[in-house]
Amino acid sequence: MSRIKFPSAYTILFVLIIVVAGLTWFVPAGRYEMVENEKLGKELPVAGSYHQVEANPQGIVDVLMAPVAGFYSPASNEANAIDVALFVLIIGGFLGVVNKTGAIDTAIGRITAKLKGREIWLIPILMTLFAAGGTIYGMAEETLAFYTLIIPVLIAAGYDTITAVAVIMIGAGMGTLGSTINPFATVIASDAAGIPFTEGLAFRVFILFAGLLTCIAYVMRYASRVKTNPSSSLVADLAESNRTRFLGSKQGDVTGTLSGAQKAILVIFGVSFAMLVYGVSVLGWWMAEMSALFLTAAILVCLVARMGEEKFTSTFVDGARDLLGVALVIGLARGIVVVMDSGNLTGTLLHSSESLVGGLSEVGFVNAMFLVQMVLSVFVPSSSGLAVLSMPIMAPLAVFSGVPSHLAVTAFQSANGLVNLINPTFAVVMGGLAIGRVPYQRWLKFMWPLMLMIAALILITLTAGVLFI
């Protein structure tokens, strides 16, 4: 009897599009009245203004159009999915050109040799750096650029692709979950709730540090087990193909010497990623600027390596082709939100959530709000989008129930951050897993114990905030 094979990310996302389209035929359609908030520059829903509207059931044509529409549909402060997909393709082309020079192969080998016996410390260092990006500016889509940089290093060090994906996704995700000054989560949610973003900062800092330490210990424990016994890896059956894919035929040349051109290429490589972080966090760059950065870097590498026009273009296209599947996943994930919005389900979902938390005790409210925001996050993965949608409704309810507004903000961003570690509608999750060649069901198997631990930490913190303030 053949073993049932879990579907690919493409199938999972397309099935979710069909399911959401099906709901538009049975769930009442509704909307909230919207008013312009000059401070945020966005329209916010008015509490108590929900009303049913004419249904707009999504049919088979809408389902088939959703992945295409998903590329063009913006989600709050996020870029259009087509911008993210183009960024991914250019990153693929850039990495293809760099890999062609052999500089990465040799550098990985030399790094691995120097770290012999101390490779495990890469995990806490890198996770802390990614968490800093998450808590400061909500590092999300830009993490996609780092997978093909980090994965080869950790595979060469004796770990697997799940370890590498976890370092990036959990690191940045935990930072966003415990956002302190993140403008796309904490600041927008606090503004929408009518409070300074510094209120409740101590709770969020505690969640950030306690949660990050828990995550680092969890990933290090798994990584150590894999290194000691490679067969214990959740992707052990993919180990050989992953080594070939990410390390190439050389698989880390520890004896090679970097040429002058290769050293210059590595400088361009490092400066490009440094500029990415600086541009996003300080200069306000987004997908267009980041794409232009790596396109420029690819051309510079071509010139330094004296690659030639024909070889450069064919190598760039081949590199972009390697990440084409990731680009398609991004459009599919956004297509789910398109169907839900077109079917007028978003307002109804928010109204149902409002009804669920109303009338509860303080402790009951803050815990119920956390769970409700987790459900909302599945359908609205964007932290800024969910903040604008839910906080004008949930913050007044919190005050009415005797819960400080800052705890409502903490519950929102913690719930959104937690769900977005595994959320199939979040392009960053599905894109990262696709780059790392980690099947979705195996990621769930890896994540569920950690998800329970972090959820318990958040609920205890929220409850303590109500009882002891």
Residues 379-401: pLDDT tens digits? 888 887 788 888 888 888 888 78
The answer to the question of residue 330 being in a domain is yes
Q: Residue 8 corresponds to which tokens in the numbers above?
A: 């690919």
Q: What is the pLDDT of residues 211-239, one digit of tens each?
A: 999 999 999 999 999 999 999 999 999 99
3-state secondary structure of 31: strand
Share of the chain above pLDDT 90, in %: 33
Whether the pLDDT of residue 252 is over 60: the answer is no
Name the average pLDDT for the chain: 85
pLDDT of residue 78: 52
Whether the pLDDT of residue 2 is over 50: the answer is no
The answer to the question of residue 92 being in a domain is yes
Strand partners, 37: 42
Q: According to the per-residue pLDDT averaged within each range, which of 44-48, 206-210, 267-271 is highest?
A: 206-210
The answer to the question of residue 42 being in a domain is no
> What is the domain extent for residue 240?
15-30+60-467
Spatial distance between the Cα atoms of 175 and 178, rounded to a whole number of angstroms:
5
The answer to the question of residue 154 being in a domain is yes
The answer to the question of residue 19 being in a domain is yes
387, 188 contact by CB (below 8 A): yes
Q: What domain count does the chain have?
A: 1
The answer to the question of residue 455 being in a domain is yes
Q: What residues have CB less than 8 Å from 227, skipping those under 6 apart?
A: 119, 120, 157, 158, 159
The answer to the question of residue 282 being in a domain is yes
Whether the pLDDT of residue 449 is over 90: the answer is yes
Strand partners, 366: none
Spatial distance between the Cα atoms of 281 and 182, rounded to a whole number of angstroms:
10
The answer to the question of residue 6 being in a domain is no
- Band (295; pLDDT cuts 50, 70, 90): very high
pLDDT of residue 463: 94
Residue 158 has φ and ψ, to the nearest 5°, of 105, 10
Spatial distance between the Cα atoms of 298 and 318, rounded to a whole number of angstroms:
13
- Band (77; pLDDT cuts 50, 70, 90): very low
